[in-house]
Every structure is written in C-alpha cells, then in structure tokens.
Amino acid sequence: MIKHREISENMVKLVVLCPLLTWTDFYHLPFDVVDEQSIEVTVQDQEEVVRGRLDIMVLKDHLWLLVIESKNAGLSLLNGIPQALAYMVANPRPDQPILGLVTNGSELIFVKLVQQNTPKYALSEPFSLLKRENELYNVLSILKKFSQLMTD
C-alpha cells in the first residue's frame, strides 16, 4: 500500500488554479491578481466580525471580478462555499455582481453573488476532474469567456 500526504490548499492553488489563471489570461493586463488578501466581514444584526484570508482575487480597475477559494483535496466543496460567499459580500462595489470559484483540486463550482437590495447567490453544477471526460475544459471555457467579456 502506498501512502500519500494530504494535498494541501496551497498545492491545489499551484496545480489547478495557477494554470487556469494563466490559460484564461487573468495574469495579463487589464487584470490584477491578488493572493492571500485579508478580508473582514461584519454581520449587521450581530456584533460579530468574521476575518479570513481570501485565497485569490482577480480585479480590474479596483472592481472585484472573481473570488477564488481553495480547500485541501478531499474536503467537500460545501466547506468552501460559505467562506467564498463571506468574502464576496465584502466586495466594496455591492452594485456589481461578482463571480466566485471554489475548488478542492478535483472538483470546482462557480458561485455568483448579486447584492442589489437583497443579496442572492446561485451555484453552478459541480465540475469534476475525475470523470472520464474531464470537465476542466468546461471550467477553462467559462473562465476564458468571462475574461473576454470583461475586456470587451
């Protein structure tokens, strides 16, 4: 039996997310990629402050476009969705919709948040890299289209 260490969140970013950001031109102008950004969210009804570190954020002209949350391999995507949404709520431009992406290295899911009036979010179907027909190309296609829309 061969034993492997758990694949860390940083390794997921390195192996899965960095190539995706490269292939979709998010590392090129007019985009700006920021990693490990500290975010603080205050809950209005309570005096609770949630602090965390946003894994990766893609900006254009100080407008948050894409928030990416990665988790250790083996963890469910459900562990990252609330965290990604908390970061997305901290968007300084709540009048603009924001896209999120959560991954554990083998699965990815998109999150869209619209905050006008009442915040609402929607989730895509999960994409899996473990299927016979690897869905990484679908994720790449979505990110590439999003990148192109934001530069037009």
Q: Does 9-151 carry CATH code 3.40.50.10140?
A: no
- The pLDDT assigned to 52 comes to 62
- Provide the whole-model pTM: 0.83
Residue 59 φ/ψ, nearest 5 degrees: -120, 160
Higher pLDDT, 14 or 112: 112
Q: Domain-by-domain residue ranges, the chain? A: 9-151
pLDDT in tens, 117-150: 888 999 999 999 888 888 989 999 999 999 888 8
Strand partners, 113: 98, 121
pLDDT above 70 coverage of the chain, percent: 85
Asked if 126 and 109 touch (Cβ cutoff 8 Å), the reply is yes
- The pLDDT assigned to 112 comes to 95
| Average pLDDT for the chain | 83
